[in-house]
């Protein structure tokens, strides 16, 4: 008589959906929910110096991970406070964040060869310490998400040394020096498996692979650099941690979304805001958990256009396991009141 069993106090709705259950209302979290739109984040960051100092101070990083959950108790997920560029830092590039300009990695992989870099795998350890600290404080209903960038997206930063227009440097290298390009992707993929395994062993419940720039690739390259590499990472992770769900987020995949969902082995798929949710629902395998896909700019706008957009997402995915999320990260200038509106609309209550 499963209906008469009271919900367990350790039930994690988000994790249940990742494992294929449907919940109503759907669980919710927001990509980049720990960050600069929160005044309490900005205050702590100012105190600690820079972004990287915050990431490497496990006590502070755990606090930042928990900040959005304190402000919005409706959140079902916590995402580890770290960055996808910790992997190149461990591979041996120097990492810095220039105020107002974003990340810098040196030397760039246009200038250096893989064997010029001296790996520093110990640079991953403090991140696991953050996971352990968060785990100790998290409510048993909250799903704890670890993450890494996917090889292609991380490679775009390693190769250009910074964010790049249309990822042109990396796309050029893929054609001009495929051997070197493959060696870079292979190295990232190997370290990523260790890094995600380390996060899992330290206590995360599920992991997400961010492929933020998968949209810039030609179809044959998408197959090799995105699908094949993601499939390899998922298979390796499943050997070590068969029960831990993997969320794939191939941002901008467009018409290649279905192929990614079917061919990578990911348990759940993140959909960005450029995909019509009704189209995505038809395109994706029946029963596959979907995460998304409110336009983060609708959240900035607020009002009736926001509630219409939220309702469209809820309706489109009402027949399958669904995790409500944004189509990409929450932006810095998002009014906190609009996030509250979103929480009320998705989860109910005053």
Positions annotated as catalytic residues are: 32, 36, 45, 83, 157
Reduced to 3 states, what is the DSSP secondary structure of residue 149? Answer: strand
Q: Which of 177, 182, 179, 159 is nearest to 169 (CA)?
A: 159
Q: Least distance from C-beta 37 to ligand CP3, angstroms?
A: 10
Q: Please report whether residue 83 would count as binding ligand CP3 according to CB under 6 A.
A: yes
Q: Please report whether residue 36 would count as binding ligand CP3 according to CB under 6 A.
A: yes
Give the angle subtended at the CA of 264 by the CAs of 270 and 126, to the nearest 5°. Answer: 70
Q: Indicate the residue among 171 and 281 with the shorter CB distance to ligand CP3.
A: 171
Q: Which of 225, 95, 223, 87 is nearest to 149 (CA)?
A: 87
Question: Which of these ranges, 78-86, 124-132, 178-186, 270-278, lies near ligand CP3 under the rule CB under 6 A?
Answer: 78-86
Instruction: Write out the DSSP string of 264-333.
Output: S--SEEE--TTS-HHHHHHHSPTT--EEEEE-HHHHHH-HHHHHHHHHHHHHHTTTS-EEEEESSPPPTT
Q: Please report whether residue 245 would count as binding ligand CP3 according to CB under 6 A.
A: no
The whole-angstrom separation of Cα 38 and Cα 42 is 7
Question: Which of these ranges, 15-23, 33-41, 199-207, 218-226, lies near ligand CP3 under the rule CB under 6 A?
Answer: 33-41
Which of 130, 142, 212, 293 binds ligand CP3 (CB under 6 A)? It is 212
Q: Please report whether residue 93 would count as binding ligand CP3 according to CB under 6 A.
A: no
Strands 206-211 and 246-250 turn out to be: parallel
The whole-angstrom separation of Cα 124 and Cα 86 is 7
Handedness of CA 16, 212, 154, 330 (dihedral sign): negative
The whole-angstrom separation of Cα 81 and Cα 343 is 21
- In the range 118-147, which residues lie near ligand CP3 by CB under 6 A? 147
Question: Which of these ranges, 30-38, 114-122, 194-202, 313-321, lies near ligand CP3 under the rule CB under 6 A?
Answer: 30-38
316 Cβ partners below 8 Å, 6+ apart? 276, 277, 278, 280, 281
Q: Of all helices (H) and strands (E), which one includes residue 249?
A: strand 246-250
- Closest residue to ligand CP3: CB criterion: 212
Site string for ligand CP3, 282-311 (x = CB under 6 A): ------------------------------
Q: Indicate the residue among 102 and 254 with the shorter CB distance to ligand CP3.
A: 102
Q: How many chain residues bind ligand CP3 (CB under 6 A)?
A: 23
Paired tokens of 294: 């409110």
- Is residue 70 part of an annotated ligand binding site? no
Which of 103, 250, 296, 327 binds ligand CP3 (CB under 6 A)? It is 103
Q: Which of 214, 93, 211, 216 is nearest to 158 (CA)?
A: 93
Which of 60, 69, 85, 309 binds ligand CP3 (CB under 6 A)? It is 85
Q: Please report whether residue 225 would count as binding ligand CP3 according to CB under 6 A.
A: no
CB contact at 8 A, 134 and 68? no
- Is residue 157 part of an annotated ligand binding site? yes
Q: Least distance from C-beta 149 to ligand CP3, angstroms?
A: 6
Q: Least distance from C-beta 100 to ligand CP3, angstroms?
A: 9
Q: Least distance from C-beta 22 to ligand CP3, angstroms?
A: 25
β-bridge mates for residue 132, sequence order = none
Q: Please report whether residue 51 would count as binding ligand CP3 according to CB under 6 A.
A: yes
Q: Least distance from C-beta 168 to ligand CP3, angstroms?
A: 16
Binding-site residue positions: 32-36, 83, 157, 212, 328
Binding-site residue positions for substrate: 32-36, 83, 157, 212, 328
């Amino acid at each position: 008589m499963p209906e008469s069993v009271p919900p367990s106090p350790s039930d994690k709705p988000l994790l249940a959906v990742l494992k294929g259950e449907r919940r109503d209302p759907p669980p919710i979290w927001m990509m980049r929910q720990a960050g600069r739109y929160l005044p309490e984040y900005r205050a702590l960051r100012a105190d600690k110096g820079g972004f990287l100092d915050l990431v490497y101070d496990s006590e502070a990083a755990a606090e930042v991970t928990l900040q959005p959950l304190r402000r919005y108790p409706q959140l079902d997920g916590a995402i580890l406070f770290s960055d996808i560029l910790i992997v190149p830092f461990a591979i041996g590039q120097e990492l810095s964040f220039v105020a107002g300009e974003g990340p810098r990695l040196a030397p760039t992989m246009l200038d250096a060869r893989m064997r010029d870099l001296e790996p520093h795998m110990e640079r991953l350890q403090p991140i696991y310490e953050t996971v352990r600290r968060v785990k100790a404080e998290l409510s048993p209903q909250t799903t704890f998400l670890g993450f890494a960038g996917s090889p292609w997206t991380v490679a775009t930063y390693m190769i250009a040394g910074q964010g790049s227009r249309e990822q042109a440097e990396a796309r050029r290298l893929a054609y001009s020096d495929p051997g070197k390009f493959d060696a870079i992707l292979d190295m990232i993929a190997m370290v990523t498996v260790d890094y995600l395994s380390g996060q899992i062993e330290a206590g995360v419940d599920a992991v997400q692979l961010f492929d933020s720039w998968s949209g810039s690739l030609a179809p044959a390259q998408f197959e090799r650099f995105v699908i094949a590499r993601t499939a390899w990472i998922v298979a390796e992770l499943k050997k070590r941690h068969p029960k831990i769900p993997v969320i794939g987020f191939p941002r901008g995949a467009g018409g290649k979304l279905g192929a990614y969902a079917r061919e990578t082995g990911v348990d759940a798929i993140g959909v960005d805001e450029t995909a019509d949710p009704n189209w995505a629902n038809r395109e994706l395998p029946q029963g596959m958990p979907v995460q998304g896909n409110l336009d983060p700019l609708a959240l900035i706008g607020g009002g009736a256009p926001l509630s219409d957009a939220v309702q469209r997402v809820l309706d489109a995915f009402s027949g399958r396991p669904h995790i409500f999320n944004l189509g990409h990260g929450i932006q810095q200038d998002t009014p906190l009141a609009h996030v509250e509106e979103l929480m009320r609309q998705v989860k109910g209550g005053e």
